[in-house]
Structure formats: C-alpha cells, structure tokens
Chains A and B, each alone.
Chain A
Amino acid sequence: MLIEVNHKVHAIPPEWREERLLDFLREYLGLTGSKFGCGAGLCGACTVTVDGVAQRSCSLNVQSVVGAEVKTIEGLSADSQVAHALQQAWMDIAVPQCGYCQAGQIMNAAALLEENPHPTDEEIEHAMDGNLCRCGTYNRIRSAIKDVAGRS
C-alpha cells in the first residue's frame, strides 16, 4: 500500500493503516508542518491538498488517499531554496502571531489560488472561512492572499 506525499512515494506499514492522514504525515513521515487542532475538520490547522484540493487531513484515513497526490506545507515550494509566493507574502506582511494555524491557512490559500488565481474578496472569505486563527491574524491573511493574487 503506497502513498505519494510531496512527490515521494512511501509504503504504509500495516500498523499505520487505520491512522488518520494527519498522524501518518506527522508521526510516521515526520512532516510536522500540518497541525492537529480539533480532529473534526472544524479548524483547518491540518489542511493539506489532495490532488490539488484543500482537505482536512485529520478527517481522512490514510488509506483514502492511496493513489492520490498529497501535498503538505513542506512540499508547497517546488524549490526548497525559494519560498512559494504565499510563504513569501506571509513573511513580508508578518502574518503569524503564534503561527500554529498558519501552515493550514497557507495550504488552504494555495488551493484557492490554484483553482482561482484572482479571487474576489468574497471568494477569499468563502474559501478561508473554515480556517480558524485564535490570535486574530485574519486581516493579514487576507492581505497576503490579495497580494499574491494581485501579483500573479
């Protein structure tokens, strides 16, 4: 049983086959960028993309993505030396406070821009409304996405 994450193929050992995708990523593959927040798909901290679509990895069984292409925050930038435009905007605008939700925010935004490179304000709100941030960095998240959408 194989899984493709960030363009690398991994075998899923038998004792990990009943695990959530999030736990498999974090604890078996060591990709700890995706975070555990609620375990119920309600906060978005665990967001990854599966075949380009934003998904809550806490609510997927690892077996459910066999055959699909999973991308995590660690694989967002194709070039490890150069940050993805969203990551760059996040740094330039100093979006993060505690930072815990931000990988999920960025992955969710990446999926949005992949599908719709020039979203309206309403489309950004609609796409990002399921990603919670308790520190209250929402306005900077909005600005960073608009920045990237405007540039591309």
Chain B
Amino acid sequence: MKRRTFLLGAGAVVGFPLAGCVVTKIIPVLPKRPMPDGQAAMGWIHFEEGNYFLDLPRIEMGQNITTGLKQVACEELGIEWGDLEVRMQQTSRIERVRSTVGSESVANFAIPLAQACATLRDAISEGKLKGRLDLIERPLSELKMFNQATKVIGKSPRLEHVEKIVRGEPLYAADMRLKGMLFGRVLRAPIAGDIPSAPKGWNKEAASAITGFVSIVSEGIGALGRSKGIGIVAKTPGALDRIADALNVEWSVEDGPSQAAIEAALDIDEVASKGAFSNIVQDVGNVAEGSWDVDLRFDIPAAAHAAIEPRAAVSNYYAKGKVELWVGNQDIFFVRDVIAKHLSLSQSDVIVNAQRVGGGFGGKSICTVELEAAVLSRAVGVPVKVQWTREQEFAQAFHRPPSSHRIQVALENKKMSTWHHRFVSSHILLTNAAAPEWIQALADTFVGDMGVARGAKIPYAVENQRTEYDLVRLPYFTGPWRGLGAGPNALAVESAVDECASQAISDPIEFRLRHLKDERLRRVLERVRNMSGWRTRGAANSQGMRRGMGVACGVYKDMSYSATVVGVLVSDKGEVKIEHIWCAQDSGLIINPDQVRAQCEGNHVWGIGMVLTDGLTYSDFAIEESQFSDAPIPRLSSIPPMTIELLEQGDPPAGAGETSIVSAAAALANAICDATGHRIVKFPVSTLDLEVKTVG
C-alpha cells in the first residue's frame, strides 16, 4: 500500500486534518472533536422540575434536525411531543460538539441521544431525580428507535419552528434586536481575499457628516484571509451605504495572480504535463499509458453557496469584559474560540447563541461576520448587528473550488478494464479563508484534502484504476460546499461512465450494473429503473424538441446511496426543459421520511444548478459576479415534478443531507446528452452548446 493511500484510508483524519496547530492570531487551537457517545449525550437531555429539555447538539439550518432529534428523544423517553422543549445550541449550556457538517446529525447523533434518553427514562422511573447520572449503554436492539412499533420514529410530525417561520416570528441571527443596538459593516478592498490588501486612506470628515454616522473603527479588525478591513458603525442600516461611499477608502493592494495564471493552474492537461500528482485516492492494478476508448476532460467552475440569508451576527459587548453573540453559524464553538482569542477573553466570557441558519450548505462553517460584530461592538460599547451584503457574500465568502478533470478509460468486452482519473482543484477542508499557506502546503504533500477527494473513488469494479489529484491555492476563498468534492467528482465520473456505456453500445443502467457489487447501490439503481419506466417512452421528438433520459448513481461517504433518472426536452435553440426527476435513495433507517425526501428534493435542485446555472469567474483579481443577476440559481419554473422513493432495509441511520447530490447533476447532464448528442464537458452548459446547428 502506498503511503498516501494508507493515510487517506486510515480514517483517523476527520474534519480539520491538522488539529492542534496554532496558526495565526485569529485561528485558535482546533481541539479534537470526536464523534459523540452516549455519555456526551447525557449533557444534552435534561429533566428539570417535571419538564424535559433537549439542548440541540446540532445547528438547525433547514435539515430540520430539530424535529428529527426531538423524534428520537420523545420515542426513547416515551413522552408526548409537547412535553419536550428543544433549545437551540448555546456555548455555555453544553460541552463542545462537532461542527454541523457532513450530514452527520442523524448518522452520528441519533444513537447517542437515544442511549442517553434511555438512561434518563429508566432513572426517572426508578425515582433517581438528583445527582449525576452515568450512561448505561445498552445494545441497539433495546433502543426503541429500532423497534418495529415506534410512535414517532419513521413519522413526519409537524416541523419544529414551522409556525414561527410562516408567521415571520424572529428566528434568525439578523432578527435579533437589542436595546440601543447599532449597525456595522467592515469594508474590505474589492479584490480576492487571499491577495494582501489593507485600507490606506479614507475621508473621515465626509463620513462623519452623514446622518446616522457613529464611528469608524480602524484598529483591531481581524483580517479575512489576507484582506484587512476598516469598520463603520451607524444608527440605521441604510446609513452604512452612505457612510461607505463618503468614506471613499483608498486601498493598498499587493499583486495577485492573473486570470490567465489561475486558468493555467486549473488546466488539468497542463498540470498533468508537469509530472506526478501529489495525492492518490485509489491505485489498483496497473494503469499504464495506452490507447483509451474514452478520453474526456471536464471543467467545473467555482460556485457560490448562495444561501438566501447573507451571514449575520449580533454582538453585545458587556463592559465587564464579556461578550454575547447571536449567530447563524454551523459551528458556534469555533466562533467562540476565534472571538475569545482575538479579543483576549477567556472562552467562558464569550457566549454564543445559535440561531436558525438561513441556509448553510457548508458555507457558514468558519468565523467571519461574527468576529466583525464582536470587534465593532467592543469598539462602540453597545450592541452591534452586522449582516453582509449580497455583494460581500460573493466577494468575501468562500466558494466551491473549481476543478478540472481528465478521465481516460479502456474498455474490454463491454466493460471498463482501466480507469484513470486525474484532477486538479483547490482546498475545501483546509480552506484558505482560515488556513495559511504553509499549513496547506504541508497538507498538500502529506494528506491531501479529504474534502476535495470525497466521492472521487469510483464504486465500480474495474481491474486497473488510478484516481489522483493536485491542489492549487487560489487567490479567492474556497471551502466546503454541499457534498464537498463529491458533487463535482461524481458529475465528472458519472458523465464519463455514461460515455463508456455509449462506447460499449450498452444500456447505461445495464452497463453500470455490470460493474457493481455493492448490493445497496444495485438496489437503488434497479429501483429507479422501474420507477422511471426507463427509456420505454422512446425518443419521440416533436415541435423542435429533442427528448432524452439520463441516469447516474453513487455512494455518499460510504453510508448512503442514490440513483437518479432525469427526463428532459431540449429545444432546437438549446433551452433545457426538465420533464421529470425520479430518485431512489437509501439512507438506512429513517427517522423522518418527509424530511429525508425534502433533502432529496433539495439536492436535485442543486444538481440542476450544477448543470445549468452555477458558475463564478475570477477576473481582475476578484470574483466577477456580485448579485443573483449575474450568478443565477435555479428558479421555480425550472423545477420539474419529482418522484422519490426511500429504500430502507434495516440498516443503521445514515446521512441524507448531501446524498443525492452524487447522482442529481450527472443524471441531468446525461439526459441532455441523450437528447442532443452533446456530451457536456464544460459546466454550466451553455444553450449555444445545445442548439441545433444549421449547416450552410
């Protein structure tokens, strides 16, 4: 076994691979955060004066885990829905928990919570209401969630928060209003965040003359990557725009890499021409240079999370050296640690309250706006609210890294005999928005970035296969995006497999099944074939429309399985109309079927975005797009009816939040190819690539 393969396969490196390194002033030591066990879960569930409380160990960001874990607790405690109050996370109320990422909330928190609830239930029934309770671990078969007859597990009760949502009651970070609260913003140079920049001069007089002006804060603002900023505080939100204009900050900016240099660095063929790749995902048999039956290059651009909620935080800096924040962040303990370090406070003097997150998707997992709010509120001595503008979201947030893939396959007897996938991308877990260059360089050489590698290992039995990649540091920030590398990797892999089926003159589903040993993956694929009436409708073209059907399948994090079929119509002008989406998904034991379905629907909308809309451009040393007008996301009219089936055959609960992103995009791309004959190799696809070319 090769050393790198061993390191990647060891499984010990989870989350931030170099935990424990102190890196810069604002990045605290990242403590180890093991998966929770039942004893840890004892700290989440409480029985106080006849009332049950669950301190949610996860962040609520739309996966509706508040409802899911409440179901687990109510089932095990044997109590009514209304008897349990769920409280959002707060750093002072529970011990540190893992960041809410990676679709882990049910997979890794449900069973520990059920164990703790079982212990509490038995203690209460025995009258032990005082003192410390130690977990009594029991076999899974004794947990009620695994019983045949459950009361709320496997059901879909009314969602927690849903009434507040539809009535517009306060739930999100920016909804917090405190007495005397002011509004803040940190201005940064209009260039990518990894290019060093700092404010050089500004017009204080003009800014001070604006109605609502309170303060300019030029000291102590944390850098975002290498971008140093200057803060402004105002009495009203709208005054911030006017003050920013009047302040007219002049920036000192260092040279950054040109667009051409970045394009070259992300050109897989250029990278491959320079020799060996640093990171190997899979290396089996003998992959030699040879003649290939399929030889395709795929280019997938950077993409924004585009959560509708721009990140926000409210900070109240108390005179006695304590600070309290209300945030919409996927990791409030990391936020606490960053702020404690930056403000030289003890961790216990920083209290962070989790609010419902208005869309996370991996993008709200580091500390940004929260530190800005904390610094500004300390400077002015009153509460300050900061919500990024949409333009700041595009310019300063980290994005899905772009990737460039070369996939070469040799076929033998209508099967894949050799598979060689090389790709180049940028950092995900080791995001440059938080990790300095030397840490990334170290990781690039030794462990790679498991986020980038995610989903690159193919599920197919191919005798000779090698998958390898390189990482380049980009001038703009890149990081986790729904599914991490699994989205783009599966899009490239499943497009190539589809082309192989075509070259082998085989049905794409039959072709896949020929290489699949994994029973659960076979099962979803066979199921979606039946559901969709796979290619039995014929390729009837009518009125300038070309009809096609495509399939893709995959495994997410070795725990959940998805297969998708998409039916499309493509007009002669190249417009894509999606007719229907079918998906069969297996995420093991299901706590809440309707919400697993909801995640599956969402992933398919993301798949549509990956193929048709998502893309950012690096130009003039910055991300060029700044609004939904130039970086569109899918709209209601582009979403077809979906038929989703959830398969569940006694397997333990797994994650569902990112599962079907591995099949959603490629199934659409393959359907478009089936309709038009155009293999999409550059995403998002342009209508120009799909229009019927008139010869002459």
- Name the interface size band of chain B: 35 or more
Is there a chain B Cβ closer than 8 Å to A148's Cβ? no
Task: Check A72 against B168 for contact (C-beta < 8 Å).
Answer: yes
Instruction: Please give 13 more A-B residue pairs, beta carbons under 8 A apart, in addition to A23-B236, A98-B356, A138-B634.
Output: A18-B242, A35-B358, A37-B310, A39-B389, A87-B166, A94-B595, A96-B165, A99-B62, A129-B636, A132-B635, A133-B308, A134-B633, A138-B639
Given A32-B175, A131-B636: A15 in contact with B162 (beta carbons within 8 A): no
Chain A residues within 8 Å of B404, by CB: none
Report which of A74, A125, A134, A141 forms a contact with B308, defined as CB distance below 8 A.
A134
Task: Check A129 against B309 for contact (C-beta < 8 Å).
Answer: no
Residue of A nearest to B603 (CB): A136
- CA of A24 to CA of B7 in the docked complex: distance in angstroms? 55
**Separation in Å of the A129 CB from the closest CB of chain B?**
5
* Residue of B169, B236, B389, B594 most packed against chain A (CB within 10 A): B236
26 pairs of residues in contact across A and B, judged by CB atoms under 8 Å: A20-B238, A27-B177, A27-B183, A32-B170, A33-B167, A35-B309, A35-B358, A37-B309, A83-B166, A83-B167, A87-B166, A90-B166, A91-B158, A94-B594, A94-B595, A97-B599, A98-B357, A99-B161, A100-B308, A103-B168, A125-B637, A133-B308, A134-B633, A136-B639, A137-B598, A142-B636
**Separation in Å of the B632 CB from the closest CB of chain A?**
9
- Residues of chain A in range 112-152 having any CB-CB distance to chain B below 8 Å: 124-126, 128-142
Is there a chain A Cβ closer than 8 Å to B347's Cβ? no
Chain B residues within 8 Å of A45, by CB: 308
Residue of A nearest to B211 (CB): A15
**Which residues of A are interface residues toward B (Cβ below 8 A)?**
15-16, 18-20, 23, 26-27, 30-40, 42-43, 45, 72-74, 77, 83, 86-87, 90-91, 94, 96-103, 106, 124-126, 128-142
Task: Check A94 against B598 for contact (C-beta < 8 Å).
Answer: yes
**Which secondary structure dominates chain A's binding surface?**
loop
**Separation in Å of the A133 CB from the closest CB of chain B?**
7
Given A36-B310, A73-B167, A83-B167: A18 in contact with B606 (beta carbons within 8 A): no
Residue of B nearest to A44 (CB): B308
- CA of A106 to CA of B599 in the docked complex: distance in angstroms? 21
Q: Total contacts A to B, CB within 8 angstroms?
A: 186
Chain B residues within 8 Å of A35, by CB: 172, 174, 308-309, 358
- CA of A131 to CA of B237 in the docked complex: distance in angstroms? 23
Is there a chain A Cβ closer than 8 Å to B19's Cβ? no
- CA of A68 to CA of B693 in the docked complex: distance in angstroms? 53
Task: Check A98 against B359 for contact (C-beta < 8 Å).
Answer: yes
Task: Check A98 against B309 for contact (C-beta < 8 Å).
Answer: yes
**Which secondary structure dominates chain B's binding surface?**
loop
Task: Check B602 against A99 for contact (C-beta < 8 Å).
Answer: no
- CA of A140 to CA of B642 in the docked complex: distance in angstroms? 11
Task: Check B163 against A83 for contact (C-beta < 8 Å).
Answer: yes
Report which of A39, A73, A97 forms a contact with B598, defined as CB distance below 8 A.
A97
Is there a chain A Cβ closer than 8 Å to B32's Cβ? no
**Separation in Å of the B484 CB from the closest CB of chain A?**
17
- Residues of chain B in range 367-392 having any CB-CB distance to chain A below 8 Å: 387, 389-390
Residue of B nearest to A28 (CB): B236
Task: Check B637 against A91 for contact (C-beta < 8 Å).
Answer: no
**Separation in Å of the A86 CB from the closest CB of chain B?**
8
**Separation in Å of the A74 CB from the closest CB of chain B?**
5
Task: Check B238 against A136 for contact (C-beta < 8 Å).
Answer: no
Given A20-B238, A134-B359, A136-B606: A100 in contact with B639 (beta carbons within 8 A): no
- CA of A94 to CA of B170 in the docked complex: distance in angstroms? 19
- CA of A131 to CA of B601 in the docked complex: distance in angstroms? 18
- Bitwise interface map of B from 584 to 599 toward A, beta carbon under 8 Å scored 1, else 0: 0000000000110011
Task: Check A102 against B166 for contact (C-beta < 8 Å).
Answer: yes
**Separation in Å of the B37 CB from the closest CB of chain A?**
29
**Separation in Å of the B393 CB from the closest CB of chain A?**
9
Residue of B nearest to A93 (CB): B594
Given A42-B628, A97-B64, A99-B171: A135 in contact with B238 (beta carbons within 8 A): no
Chain A residues within 8 Å of B158, by CB: 91, 94
Is there a chain A Cβ closer than 8 Å to B532's Cβ? no
Task: Check B166 against A97 for contact (C-beta < 8 Å).
Answer: no
Given A34-B168, A98-B359, A125-B636: A19 in contact with B237 (beta carbons within 8 A): yes
Chain A residues within 8 Å of B64, by CB: 97
Task: Check A132 against B628 for contact (C-beta < 8 Å).
Answer: yes
Report which of B156, B236, B307, B357 forms a contact with A94, defined as CB distance below 8 A.
B156
Task: Check B166 against A106 for contact (C-beta < 8 Å).
Answer: yes
Residue of A nearest to B601 (CB): A136
Is there a chain A Cβ closer than 8 Å to B301's Cβ? no
Chain B residues within 8 Å of A27, by CB: 177, 183, 236-237
**Separation in Å of the A4 CB from the closest CB of chain B?**
18
Task: Check B606 against A102 for contact (C-beta < 8 Å).
Answer: no
**Separation in Å of the B328 CB from the closest CB of chain A?**
9
* Residue of A34, A35, A125 most packed against chain B (CB within 10 A): A35
- CA of A19 to CA of B603 in the docked complex: distance in angstroms? 37
